[in-house]
């Protein structure tokens, strides 16, 4: 006779004479519990994804606005040419210098298209965010949160 915890489990696994394994009810209970846990995890991951998309939109907005502000300060501009939706940051806000890689000028923003397209007014303020170069739709509340 084996003693201790190991012996207890071995005796219980053998069950009654001729029986072994788990009953159908026990298996159904385990599967149900696992299903509920999977549903909880899935719902929490969906919330994290949408929150991450919102934060990415807000961060890119801040970078583009800061680049445009720095650009205007560097060239001592009070106004710029308003732009329609663009994700091409080589657009020239004052008609002369691009926002990046202008010869002899600092780089104000990265040298790639942005995820979203931006519209700015004559005062250099971003007024709208729309679908950008990768056809990525910005979160609906991105601008409202800024």
Task: Tell me if 70 is assigned to some domain.
Answer: yes
Task: Tell me if 107 is assigned to some domain.
Answer: yes
Burial 91-125 (b: 16+ CB within 10 A, else e): bebeeebbbbeeeeeeebbeeeebbbbbebeeebe
Closest CA to 101 of 116, 112, 115, 117: 112
Structural domain span for residue 139: 49-146
Task: Tell me if 127 is assigned to some domain.
Answer: yes
Reported pTM: 0.60
* Number of independent structural domains in the chain: 1
Task: Tell me if 105 is assigned to some domain.
Answer: yes
Task: Tell me if 40 is assigned to some domain.
Answer: no
Q: Give the pLDDT confidence of 1-18 residue by residue, as tens digits.
A: 555 666 665 566 555 565
Task: Tell me if 42 is assigned to some domain.
Answer: no
Q: Give the pLDDT confidence of 116-131 residue by residue, as tens digits.
A: 888 888 787 888 887 7
Burial 20-42 (b: 16+ CB within 10 A, else e): eeeeeeeeeeeeeeeeeeeeeee
Query: CA 8 to CA 31: how far, in whole Å?
Result: 25
Task: Tell me if 129 is assigned to some domain.
Answer: yes
Task: Tell me if 8 is assigned to some domain.
Answer: no
């Amino acid at each position: 006779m084996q003693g201790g915890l190991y012996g207890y489990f071995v005796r219980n696994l053998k069950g009654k004479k001729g029986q072994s394994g788990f009953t159908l009810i026990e298996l159904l209970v385990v599967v149900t519990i696992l299903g509920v846990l999977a549903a909880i995890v899935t719902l929490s991951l969906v919330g994290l994804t949408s929150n991450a998309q919102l934060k990415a939109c807000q961060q890119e907005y801040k970078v583009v606005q800061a680049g445009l502000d720095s650009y205007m300060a560097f060239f001592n501009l009070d106004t710029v040419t308003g732009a329609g939706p663009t994700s091409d940051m080589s657009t020239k806000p004052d008609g002369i210098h691009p926002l990046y890689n202008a010869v002899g000028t600092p780089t104000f923003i990265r040298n790639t298209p942005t995820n979203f397209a931006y519209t700015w007014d004559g005062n250099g303020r971003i007024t709208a965010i729309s679908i950008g170069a990768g056809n990525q739709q910005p979160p609906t509340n991105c601008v409202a949160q800024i």
